Structure 1
Amino acid sequence: MKIGFLFNHDMLHQIAHTAPIAAELAAEGVDVSILCSSPEQERRVRALVPAGLPVRFVQLTTSRLANIANSLTGGVIPFRRLGILRQNLSLFAGFDALVVPETTSTLLKSRYGLNGLKLIYLPHGAGDRSIGFRGVTRLFDFVLLSGNKVRDRMLRSGLVTAENCKIVGYPKFDTVDLDHVPRIFDNDRPTVLYNPHFDPLLSSWRTMGEQVLDYFAQQDRFNLIFAPHVMLFQRRLHASLEHRRLWFRRKIPQRFFGLPHIRIDTGSPLSTDMSYTRAADIYLGDVSSQVYEWIYRPRPCIFLNSHHAAWRGNPNYAHWLLGDVIDSIAELPAALERAMADPTRFAHLQEHACKETFGVDDNRPSSQRAAQAITSFLRSSSTKVEGFTRKHVLCSEASGFY
């Protein structure tokens, strides 16, 4: 079997979710190709795939016009990603399967008719936002999921069937020493990680972010790591098809740079390899799925309800049950005091959520389980010829850009 691993995004945060699976398959003798849309992606994949494995690397290109259009729109409409899909159809058609961590690739079926190509999806995260549970998931032939929480919600929504999905755990964990606690500051203060999302409606950076930085700049009890979702500062203009919102992201005021107790990182590799989620003591955020990587080791969480959500009983905010939820910065000092006074207050809920979110198997790494699931699926479907019958999923939804 011939399997491609497609990395077609502006940033590097999706790579660790599927690259270790490619390494496992290559080690088992499967014909594996890594398809990257930038040299930076290739370097990151090479860092995660042991040297000497028979893996083929391919750099994908697109037209100069697509690159110019992408630049002019600030990436809000991902012309470059779309162009890479359209201009490499013959390459994609030569594979038995493509493994992807995003949903834009479903255009290969919904728009370009590559119906003989098996699309295998492993979501790049295990969060609760509604964008992770859209109808576009039905376009995939096989879906690899982290645990019961995501699988059960997808089954209830009719996005997968019991036959075309498999719980494999969280392959990204295979790339990290989860017991290692990086040292970021040269002091023994407790460290807070502020991790806002980029969504135009949901992000706390939009209305509260500067106040958060002001609070930590003016106190001397805590260190602060400001490490938002890597896409927040990748673009100035953010658009949400889900919430029909546009937002010009504000810049970070210069007064916050150079402070010895504040680390600002808007997108280095440390923001994507769990360095900060391992190093900090208290999580401060809004809707990012990184909170589930955080609770792998239970610790206090504080969530900023900057958009006045009616969140209780809403599955899109299930993670807000794992810590304190506050509606204003005025409530932050008291929330921090509670976190310090009783750091295990939500530990039992976090432990249960972690177990449901990640199908942990102490005997086998997640990437190994995923590799086995992929080969079993492809062997079982190799004698089947299946036409495309799901065109009721709208092309606009299928693109998703997620």
Structure 2
Amino acid sequence: MTLHGMKIGFLFNHDCIHQVSHTAPIICQLVALGQDVTVITSSVEQEAHVRRMVAACARNVTFVRIDISLLARAVNVVARSFLPFRRIANLRENIRLFSRFDALVVPETTSALLKSHFRLDIKLIYFPHGAGDRSIGFRDVTRFFDLVLLPGEKTRERMQASHLIRPDAHSVVGYPKFDIVDLSRRPRFFDNDRPTVLYNPHFDPVLSSWWDMGLEVLDWFARQDDYNLIFAPHVMLFRRNLHTSVEHRRLRLRRMIPQKIRNLSHILIDTGSPNSVDMSYVRGADIYLGDVSSQIYEWIYQPRPCIFLNSHGAKWRDNPNYAHWNMGQVIDRVDELPHALAVAQAQQALYGPRQQVAFAATFHTAPDESAASRAARDIVYFLSHGKTAAA
């Protein structure tokens, strides 16, 4: 299947690298189909990360890095605490570049501004970075995308219920990130046989457990010797000192990690390395401790115990925004953590089957086709026919 004469861009416009692996695996598959692909990044780190992932076809891919003006950089120093100013400026100041392409593939929704506000005539193709349940992943902005590629039926059904996607303009392809991770390999991070807990709080100033429970969690692990701890929060948490939740209208100043906790042999602290986004910690830990991060769905590729911290008094039962909390124990206070950890393995008899069902609903899998190859095929078909193959 070849579509000649179409130029496809992959735009990575973010502060961090965590979105790259959700769409980058599709690039080589499009190249194999004879497509003209350009990678557009907004940082050296993103470009390096993409280059590692597409090493097999990199010589057939064009790389372009975008930036903003000196004035915009000055404004960003203040504005970045309240809105993604740099990302928006990158879109506005590079309209001429984007206009050269027939389609842009993106892993986030800020790029919808190209259509909604900057009136760019281009096909926008969206693949969500993650497969979580937070309401922010199911907003009206999704309607601005011409084609939406989805990881599984769960996301499709919820988007359909809210009329966010059109029957002839979406496709369930699977999870390209799984294509590039060796899920059979378990990294080892500690020189002992203790169970390892992965604490993975989100950054949202309302939903994340870090703001009201995080330091207490770290202090508890520091004082005990039964468990190892990997503290690997969402990479955005320590990227900024001040966090704003546009969704929940809350502004909070992030607290620092005490130095005494940083130097303990049974605690590994990683606030943003590639290990935080390539599933290294997900594969290397025994128990997941978190709140609302979509990383929980990567965790359950292999069913294992989960514990969720309800730091904000959420009424979570029967709430689709907290569907993942049905896959493990939910605790409201840190003093409940020792017991939750002690019974975690026994409780897994209840939660394991739920995790298997949730994984199957969240991620489409096909034994004879990777998610990235299916996505590439569907992109080419859509650009050729103006609709998806299943329409």
CA shift, 1:71, in A, is 2.1
CA shift, 1:303, in A, is 0.2
Identify which of 299, 302, 320 aligns with 2:304.
299
Q: Which structure 1 residue ranges, 5 or more long, are not aligned?
A: 383-402
Residue 276 of structure 2 is aligned to residue 271 of structure 1: yes
Greater mean alpha carbon deviation, residues 261-270 or residues 67-76: 67-76
Equivalent position amino acid for 2:317 in 1: R
The alignment partner of 2:212 has SS state of coil
CA shift, 1:110, in A, is 0.8
Residue 74 of structure 2 is aligned to residue 68 of structure 1: yes
* Structure 1 match to 2:178: 173
Q: Tell me how far apart the structure 2 counterparts of residues 86 and 378 of structure 1 sit (CA, whole Å).
A: 25
Kept in 2, the 8 Å contact 1:38–1:59? The answer is yes
Kept in 1, the 8 Å contact 2:307–2:340? The answer is yes
Kept in 2, the 8 Å contact 1:167–1:359? The answer is yes
* Structure 2 match to 1:209: 214
Equivalent position amino acid for 1:164 in 2: A
Kept in 2, the 8 Å contact 1:74–1:236? The answer is no
Q: Tell me how far apart the structure 2 counterparts of residues 74 and 46 of structure 1 sit (CA, whole Å).
A: 27
Residue 10 of structure 2 is aligned to residue 11 of structure 1: no
Identify which of 182, 191, 205 aligns with 1:200.
205
Kept in 1, the 8 Å contact 2:8–2:103? The answer is yes
The alignment partner of 1:362 has SS state of coil
Residue 135 of structure 2 is aligned to residue 124 of structure 1: no
* Structure 2 match to 1:152: 157
The alignment partner of 2:52 has SS state of helix
Kept in 2, the 8 Å contact 1:299–1:344? The answer is no
Residue 248 of structure 2 is aligned to residue 243 of structure 1: yes
Q: Which structure 2 residue ranges, 5 or more long, are not aligned?
A: 1-5
Q: Tell me how far apart the structure 2 counterparts of residues 314 and 341 of structure 1 sit (CA, whole Å).
A: 26
Deviations 1:265-321 (A, max 9, x none): 000000000000000000000000000000011000000000000000100000000
Q: Tell me how far apart the structure 1 counterparts of residues 205 and 161 of structure 2 sit (CA, whole Å).
A: 28
What is the number of equivalent residue pairs in this alignment? 381
Deviations 1:74-104 (A, max 9, x none): 4432222111111111111111100000011
Q: Tell me how far apart the structure 2 counterparts of residues 318 and 336 of structure 1 sit (CA, whole Å).
A: 21
Identify which of 87, 91, 95 aligns with 2:97.
91
Greater mean alpha carbon deviation, residues 312-321 or residues 331-340: 331-340
Residue 391 of structure 2 is aligned to residue 375 of structure 1: no
* Structure 1 match to 2:115: 109
CA shift, 1:23, in A, is 1.6
Write the mapping of 1:217-228 to structure 2, written as runs, cut at 5 A.
Answer: 217-228=222-233
Equivalent position amino acid for 2:276 in 1: S
Equivalent position amino acid for 1:138 in 2: R
Residue 311 of structure 2 is aligned to residue 280 of structure 1: no
**Alpha-carbon RMSD:** 1.1
Q: Tell me how far apart the structure 1 counterparts of residues 81 and 174 of structure 2 sit (CA, whole Å).
A: 31
Residue 78 of structure 2 is aligned to residue 78 of structure 1: no
Equivalent position amino acid for 1:294 in 2: W
CA shift, 1:51, in A, is 3.7
Equivalent position amino acid for 1:288 in 2: S
Kept in 1, the 8 Å contact 2:199–2:288? The answer is yes
Equivalent position amino acid for 1:120 in 2: I
* Structure 1 match to 2:3: none
Residue 159 of structure 2 is aligned to residue 138 of structure 1: no
Kept in 2, the 8 Å contact 1:67–1:79? The answer is no
* Structure 2 match to 1:59: 65
Deviations 1:198-246 (A, max 9, x none): 0010010010001101111111110000000000000111111111111
Q: Tell me how far apart the structure 1 counterparts of residues 337 and 103 of structure 2 sit (CA, whole Å).
A: 48
Equivalent position amino acid for 1:3 in 2: I
* Structure 2 match to 1:340: 345
| Identity over aligned pairs, percent | 61
The alignment partner of 2:233 has SS state of coil
Equivalent position amino acid for 2:139 in 1: R
Greater mean alpha carbon deviation, residues 99-108 or residues 69-78: 69-78
Q: Tell me how far apart the structure 1 counterparts of residues 284 and 297 of structure 2 sit (CA, whole Å).
A: 15
Deviations 1:356-402 (A, max 9, x none): 000011111100010011001100129xxxxxxxxxxxxxxxxxxxx
Kept in 1, the 8 Å contact 2:80–2:86? The answer is no
Identify which of 158, 161, 183 aligns with 2:166.
161
The alignment partner of 1:178 has SS state of coil
Kept in 2, the 8 Å contact 1:239–1:247? The answer is yes
Kept in 2, the 8 Å contact 1:66–1:83? The answer is yes
* Structure 2 match to 1:29: 34
Deviations 1:240-274 (A, max 9, x none): 11111111111111120110000000000000000
What is the TM-score of this pair, normalised by structure 1? 0.93
Deviations 1:175-205 (A, max 9, x none): 1101110001111110000000000100100
Kept in 2, the 8 Å contact 1:193–1:227? The answer is yes
* Structure 2 match to 1:389: none
Q: Tell me how far apart the structure 2 counterparts of residues 182 and 73 of structure 1 sit (CA, whole Å).
A: 39
